[in-house]
């Protein structure tokens, strides 16, 4: 065991953040840690690091005294040196550097023999053995390799850390954490400042490393790719789920559905008992009515579960219908000080209802293009023309449509119709989780996620039929992201969207603009249709005749390159050997067995639901036991169906 929490509670003053956390980190695991903004995810890591102390419960920490090499990354980490990029990364090996310095001093001492030579040589041998044990001869190469994969060129490694942008500094600190965390790696939102190639490298690293990794992330695509288990923090309590994010969602929705059913049954039972008590408390059956009232008073009431996890309901009302063409770009190039970042876009139209995803490496001009279309900066060349009856709305990363002098209520009031009532505005804000006193909070003190929500709320309140959105899901929790996606899918106007969120791209975008190597290129189809091209996978681009796209999750299939039979010199297909025939027969048998098990499980679940509907809701022990059986059967059914899909794919591949 590397670290653990056992029924841990933690509060900030009167605010109870963590109410009951139990979690064990074992070797060779990859955990995704999820929860709403403010749920206590980062607090969890700080308790492990010893920066905070639990109010109650036990925390077993991954300390050096236990010989655990720990790496930790968060966006607010400060560099430990004033040196260059490589020196800061190598500071992860401070012990190794001290050994190297000691070895150099001992080498100098050995060059001047005296009566202590034997003692010096013995110390040198010990230092050298320790240096080799810590892989001291490879640390520089490892550090350089990680920095290169996180987007730094060899020329940049000598650049001072103090001269870097905020995003570049974060990537240096991420490289340093990776180098340190050879046993346990804690990553708090590591994907925020990474472009797609760096993201793909980090995914491969997390999957392949022998270290245990726990990652707090709102990047669902990343969690689907790397996580083998999910820790959810909800209402201060922890819950562990096996599988990646998509598998977690399936299980969570099944739990919510079962809990909702249990709640409704209990409410119906309570209502029936209260009606009996009301009718009989003063009549002939007074004794029975009093008994039921006593029993009802002792009944533990179930809380209403979150039936719909997407609590925020976005809606983009159009002011009016626009023409078929929402936006036309003619010989458009953008940049700074008259210098274009890419060659002109000769001619392109964004049609009404189209969702355009804009992708590319950091610094290629994606956000600059949106700024120019929005009229915030001048074009270098060409012109942008809005279509007939188009009203444009612009969401930027810095939420510049917010006025820091306002509170939340005043911000929405300023863009509301003149006759809008206070109740109407408060009801609108409630959709964005600004309720009660939160409506009076000053814009200047809002968190990043709150500012993003209020910025979107302002845009919605104004009404528009062409949206320009620059990284709209930054700082949002997963539930808010899902609601944003649903809103964009339902939005009847046009959207131009800059994002690194591959899940968002995959769900929303129906065409793509890639800015790469000073060129802007368009393609029809979404992210999954053009994944190699979008991720700058050059090898994949060369073999694009038949798309070969990685699956986003184990449960979702995408097109794969068709396998053709091998051809020998006479032009005939090579005969299938006996071993291949055996494999096919075995697969077919396993497939039949799996299909039978799926049918059996479906029948058992149906029977269990029937028994549950007939159970006495007042007997909560029996009721909960039956509910648990259904959950276990549904979980087994999900995994069995997944096994069937894998067997079918394998069988199809064998037959071709």
Is pLDDT above 70 for 542? no
Is pLDDT above 60 for 540? no
Is pLDDT above 50 for 543? no
3-state secondary structure of 629: helix
3-state secondary structure of 343: coil
pLDDT of residue 442: 93
pLDDT of residue 109: 77
Ramachandran region, residue 363 (left: φ > 0; alpha: ψ -120 to 50; beta: rest): left
**How does residue 621 score in pLDDT terms, banded at 50, 70 and 90?**
low
**How does residue 549 score in pLDDT terms, banded at 50, 70 and 90?**
very low
Q: What is the 3-state secondary structure (H, E, C) of 309-332?
A: CCCCCCCCCCCCCCCCEEEEEEEE
pLDDT of residue 207: 92
pLDDT of residue 49: 94
Structure-model confidence comparison of residues 365 and 303, the more confident one: 365
**How does residue 620 score in pLDDT terms, banded at 50, 70 and 90?**
low
- Mean pLDDT over residues 571-582, rounded? 50
- Mean pLDDT over residues 146-159, rounded? 90
Round the CA-based radius of gyration of the chain to a whole number and report it.
30
**How does residue 570 score in pLDDT terms, banded at 50, 70 and 90?**
very low
Q: Which residue has the tokens 């899909």?
A: 645
pLDDT of residue 46: 94
Q: Which of 458-467, 521-530, 555-564, 612-621 has the highest mean predicted lDDT (pLDDT)?
A: 521-530
Distance CA 32, CA 224 (A): 9
**How does residue 573 score in pLDDT terms, banded at 50, 70 and 90?**
very low
pLDDT of residue 356: 96
Q: pLDDT digit string (tens) for 87-122?
A: 898 888 877 777 777 787 877 777 776 667 778 788
First to last CA, the chain: 45
**How does residue 555 score in pLDDT terms, banded at 50, 70 and 90?**
very low
Structure-model confidence comparison of residues 400 and 3, the more confident one: 3
Q: Which of 24, 29, 79 is nearest to 48 (CA)?
A: 24
Rounded to the nearest integer, the mean pLDDT of the chain is 82
Structure-model confidence comparison of residues 134 and 369, the more confident one: 369
Alpha-helical segments (H) within 111-138:
117-133
pLDDT of residue 656: 65
**% pLDDT > 70, the chain:** 87
- Mean pLDDT over residues 307-336, rounded? 73
The secondary structure of the chain in percent helix, strand, coil, rounded to multiples of 5, reads 45, 20, 35
Q: Among the listed ranges 171-175, 525-529, 572-576, which one has the minimum average pLDDT value?
A: 572-576
pLDDT of residue 519: 92
Q: What is the DSSP letter of 54?
A: -
Distance CA 44, CA 61 (A): 11
pLDDT of residue 48: 95
Q: Which of 387, 474, 627 is nearest to 37 (CA)?
A: 474
Pair of tokens at residue 478: 């997963």
- Mean pLDDT over residues 6-34, rounded? 93
β-bridge mates for residue 16, sequence order: 11
**% pLDDT > 90, the chain:** 34
Pair of tokens at residue 400: 């510049």
Q: With beta carbons less than 8 A apart as the criterion, state whether 532 and 540 touch.
A: yes
Q: Which of 70, 12, 59 is nearest to 40 (CA)?
A: 12
Q: Which of 297, 294, 276, 296 is nearest to 285 (CA)?
A: 276
pLDDT of residue 47: 95
Q: What is the 3-state secondary structure (H, E, C) of 510-544?
A: CEEEEEECCEEEEEECCCHHHHHHHCCCHHHHHCC
pLDDT of residue 624: 65
Question: Any idea of the CA torsion for 252, 258, 259, 260, to the nearest 10 degrees?
Answer: 110
Pair of tokens at residue 88: 């800061």
pLDDT of residue 564: 35
pLDDT of residue 452: 81
* 325-542: CATH, from 3.90.550.10, 3.40.1190.20, 3.40.50.960, 3.40.50.300: 3.40.50.300
Distance CA 227, CA 238 (A): 17
pLDDT of residue 54: 94
Q: With beta carbons less than 8 A apart as the criterion, state whether 345 and 332 touch.
A: yes
Q: Which residue has the tokens 């070797």?
A: 27
Q: Which of 357, 443, 344, 447 is nearest to 401 (CA)?
A: 443
| Residues in CB range of 249: below 8 A, 6 or more apart | none
pLDDT of residue 318: 53
Pair of tokens at residue 313: 């309901």
Distance CA 190, CA 75 (A): 8
Distance CA 590, CA 586 (A): 6
- Mean pLDDT over residues 41-48, rounded? 94
Cβ neighbours, 10 Å, residue 217: 22
- Mean pLDDT over residues 570-579, rounded? 43
**How does residue 313 score in pLDDT terms, banded at 50, 70 and 90?**
low
Strand segments (E) across 205-321: 212-216, 229-234, 237-242
| Residues in CB range of 306: below 8 A, 6 or more apart | 256
pLDDT of residue 572: 33
Distance CA 44, CA 234 (A): 13
């Amino acid at each position: 065991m590397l670290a653990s929490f056992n029924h841990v509670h933690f509060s900030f003053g009167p605010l109870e953040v963590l109410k009951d956390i139990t979690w064990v980190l074992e070797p060779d695991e990859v955990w995704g840690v999820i929860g709403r903004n403010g749920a206590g995810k980062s607090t969890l890591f700080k308790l492990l690091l010893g920066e905070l102390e639990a109010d109650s419960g036990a925390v077993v920490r991954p300390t050096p005294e236990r010989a655990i090499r720990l790496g930790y990354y968060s966006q607010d980490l400060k560099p430990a040196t004033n040196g260059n990029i490589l020196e800061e990364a190598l500071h992860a090996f401070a012990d190794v550097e001290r050994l190297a310095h000691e070895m150099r001093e001992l080498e100098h001492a050995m060059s001047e023999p005296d009566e202590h030579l034997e003692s010096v040589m013995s110390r040198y041998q010990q230092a050298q053995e320790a240096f080799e044990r810590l892989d001291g001869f490879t640390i520089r190469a490892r550090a350089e390799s990680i920095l290169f994969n996180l987007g730094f060129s060899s020329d940049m490694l000598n650049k001072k850390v103090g001269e870097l942008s905020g995003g570049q500094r974060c990537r240096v600190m991420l490289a340093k954490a990776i180098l340190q965390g050879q046993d346990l790696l804690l990553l708090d939102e590591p994907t925020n400042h990474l472009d797609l190639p760096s993201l793909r490298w980090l995914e491969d690293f997390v999957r392949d490393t022998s270290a245990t990794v726990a990652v707090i992330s709102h990047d669902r695509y990343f969690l689907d790719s790397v996580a083998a288990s999910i820790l959810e923090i909800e209402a201060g309590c922890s819950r562990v789920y096996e599988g990646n994010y998509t598998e977690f969602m399936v299980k969570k929705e099944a739990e919510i559905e079962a809990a909702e059913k249990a709640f409704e049954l209990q409410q119906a039972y309570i209502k029936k008992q209260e009606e009996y008590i009301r009718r009989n408390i003063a009549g002939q059956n007074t004794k029975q009515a009093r008994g039921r009232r006593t029993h009802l008073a002792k009944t533990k009431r179930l809380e209403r579960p979150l039936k719909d996890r997407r609590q925020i309901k976005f809606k983009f009302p159009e002011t009016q219908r626009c023409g078929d063409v929402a936006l036309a770009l003619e010989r458009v190039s953008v940049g700074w000080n008259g210098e274009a970042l890419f060659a002109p876009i000769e001619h392109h139209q964004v049609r009404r209802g189209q969702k355009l995803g804009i992708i590319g490496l950091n610094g290629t001009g994606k956000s600059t293009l949106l700024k120019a279309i929005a009229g915030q900066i001048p074009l270098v060349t060409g012109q942008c023309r809005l279509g007939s009856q188009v009203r444009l709305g612009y969401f930027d990363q810095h939420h510049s449509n917010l006025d820091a002098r306002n509170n939340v209520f005043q911000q929405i009031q300023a863009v509301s119709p003149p006759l809008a009532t206070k109740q109407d505005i408060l009801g609108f804000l409630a959709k964005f989780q600004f309720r009660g006193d939160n409506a009076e909070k000053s814009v200047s003190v809002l968190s990043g996620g709150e500012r993003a929500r209020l910025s979107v709320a302002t845009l919605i309140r104004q009404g528009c039929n062409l949206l320009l959105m620059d990284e709209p899901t930054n700082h949002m929790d997963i539930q808010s992201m899902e609601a944003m996606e649903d809103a964009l899918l339902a939005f009847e106007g046009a959207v131009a969207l800059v994002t690194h969120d591959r899940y968002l791209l995959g769900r929303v975008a129906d065409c793509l603009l890639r800015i790469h190597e000073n060129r802007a290129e368009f393609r029809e189809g979404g992210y999954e249709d053009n994944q190699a091209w979008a991720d700058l996978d050059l090898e994949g681009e060369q073999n694009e005749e038949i798309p070969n796209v990685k699956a986003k999750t184990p449960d979702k299939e995408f097109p794969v390159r068709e396998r053709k039979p091998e051809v020998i010199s006479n032009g005939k297909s090579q005969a299938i050997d006996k071993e291949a025939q055996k494999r096919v027969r075995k697969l077919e048998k396993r497939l039949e067995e799996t299909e039978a098990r799926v049918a059996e499980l479906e029948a058992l679940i149906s029977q269990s639901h029937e028994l549950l509907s007939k159970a006495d809701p007042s007997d909560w022990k029996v009721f909960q036991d039956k509910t648990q059986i259904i959950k276990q059967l549904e979980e087994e059914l999900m995994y069995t169906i997944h096994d069937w899909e894998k067997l079918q794919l394998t069988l199809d591949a064998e037959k071709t």
